Structure 1
């Protein structure tokens, strides 16, 4: 009797790594990391100076105080009061919105349009192919019926 060997841990790990979705995920993480650097540069180089034209260039400086007096040490620790650092939240939100917009307009939207065009072409090819097959089949049936009718008519005359 032949016993079926179970795959070793190494073979299972190798099979896991060779799956397409794992490779795709790794590529996405690397691209996402590089893309984060681009977005951070856009925020620091473009958005913060535009905000700086109105106020300070660093959004982290925008705060409100719930309990006075708010004193924050240079290292970021709170000495007294309860500061609300809404500028940090605004900066993070702005980074997120910019990232989402760039991903949508430069990646998702073009890919969606491309896939829709590919699907339309595929359906057009399939639709044309089906019409041709149905038409050919109908023509072949017509030819068959005509030949049968001619053969039958020829036998009736004799």
Structure 2
């Protein structure tokens, strides 16, 4: 009984994670968005390309071998066809989808995140000593060690200059 409760509790925690819910929302929005993009491609892009020929890009094809078409039905009876019009239509759909997602979703989100990051207060991080400061500390420590002094030799001395030399 306790094992099933642990499994059910784990499953509930899994479902309540933000990633699962965000993924479900993305799938639903993506499915609805696909219909919009397909309508734009079929209603706007294909007719523009169709000004050169057929409005249905599926009609653009090439034959690799002897191809025969039934003149009554318009169906292909033999031969090997490359349906490059369908590929072009799918590629246009993809490019339009990617462009809309980038310009209407990703770009504004990135700008919004940049604004939030700019408003965020900067944490006080201790500044590392410069090379010159480190060299001064090393020099002072060596001078103090050579002189046999146990005191701090300079006001610029930091961690290295304050350590007592071991004899």
**SS of residue matched to 1:54:** coil
1:114 aligns with 112
Provide TM-score, normalisation by structure 2. Answer: 0.66
Greater helix share, structure number: 1
1:46 aligns with 44
Provide TM-score, normalisation by structure 1. Answer: 0.69
Q: 1:19 is matched with which residue: 17, 37, 40?
A: 17
> Quick one: distance in 1 between partners of 2:64 and 2:112?
51
Q: CA RMSD in A?
A: 2.4
1:144 aligns with none
**SS of residue matched to 1:79:** strand
1:92 aligns with 90
Ranges in structure 1 where 5+ consecutive residues have no aligned partner? 131-158
**SS of residue matched to 2:29:** helix
Shift of 1:75: 9.4
Ranges in structure 2 where 5+ consecutive residues have no aligned partner? 125-167
Aligned residues: 123
Shift of 1:29: 0.3
> Quick one: distance in 2 between partners of 1:72 and 1:62?
17
Distance 1:83 1:106, change over 3 A: same
Does the alignment pair 1:126 with 2:122?
Answer: yes
